[in-house]
């Protein structure tokens, strides 16, 4: 994949590099995208079990999202991840695996942190934190997948600030 890119990557080449026959690959994976999905899941991606916690939620979210867009603008990471995302967008079963195995665990890391902040009274109790995570990450994915805007640190910083405005506890009356 790193050598020839996704479009020219073939199951034959994967099989050959693995020293097995093509049928062996097909026995376990229905497509090259499915092979890549499993390869991704075996590769440390820098995704941690929890967000960094300096006690400053805005700063923590900004630092994680800056690292995320750095990754998404790095061609070595970008190409296979885009290949999986495109294949998943086109294929409902792969989408289910992509969501369940790659996306949801990522979203859950944010949701846990937001829930802890909510329990500490720093996020309004009425806010659905799962939806708040989508507010934060949806625009990043949209700019990335559609190439519809620059994936800069300035963008993610502003996104964090705007999203956090929605989460502030309401002051009485």
Q: Whole-angstrom Cα distance, residue 118 to residue 57? A: 11
Q: Which of 156, 36, 153, 139 is nearest to 85 (CA)?
A: 36
CB–CB of 65/57 below 8 Å? Answer: no
Count Cβ atoms within 10 A of the Cβ of residue 60 and give its class: 0-12 exposed, 13-18 middle, 19 or more buried: middle
Distance of closest approach, residue 148 Cβ to a second copy, in angstroms: 4
Q: Which of 17, 19, 125, 146 binds a second copy (CB under 8 A)?
A: 146
Contact flags string 82-101 toward a second copy, x per CB under 8 A: x--xx-xxx-x--xx-xx--
Q: Whole-angstrom Cα distance, residue 126 to residue 118? A: 9
| Stretch of residues binding a second copy (CB under 8 A), selected from 13-21, 33-41, 60-68, 130-138 | 130-138
Q: Which of 8, 54, 165, 172 binds a second copy (CB under 8 A)?
A: 165
Whichever of 25 and 88 has its CB closer to a second copy, that residue is 88
Whichever of 4 and 20 has its CB closer to a second copy, that residue is 4
Hey, CA dihedral for 41, 43, 45, 49, is it positive or negative? positive
Q: What would the two tokens of residue 74 be?
A: 């790095």
Residues that bind a second copy (CB under 8 A): 82, 85-86, 88-90, 92, 95-96, 98-99, 103-104, 127-128, 131-132, 134-135, 137-143, 145-149, 155, 158-159, 162-163, 165-168, 171
């Amino acid at each position: 994949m790193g050598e020839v890119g996704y479009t020219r990557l073939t199951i034959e080449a994967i099989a050959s590099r693995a020293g097995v026959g093509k049928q062996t690959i097909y026995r376990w994976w229905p497509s090259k995208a499915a092979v890549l999905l499993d390869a991704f899941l075996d590769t440390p991606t820098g995704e941690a079990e929890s967000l960094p916690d300096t006690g400053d939620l805005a700063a923590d979210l900004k630092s994680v999202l800056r690292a995320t867009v750095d990754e998404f603008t790095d061609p070595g990471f970008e190409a296979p991840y885009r290949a999986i995302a495109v294949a998943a967008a086109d294929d409902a079963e792969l989408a289910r695996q992509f969501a369940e195995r790659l996306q949801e665990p990522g979203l859950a890391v944010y949701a846990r942190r937001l829930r802890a902040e909510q329990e500490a009274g720093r996020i309004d109790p009425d806010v659905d934190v799962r939806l708040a995570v989508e507010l934060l990450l949806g625009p990043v994915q949209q700019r990335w997948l559609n190439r519809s805007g620059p994936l800069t640190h300035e963008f993610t910083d502003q996104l964090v600030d705007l999203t956090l405005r929605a989460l502030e506890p309401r002051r009485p009356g």
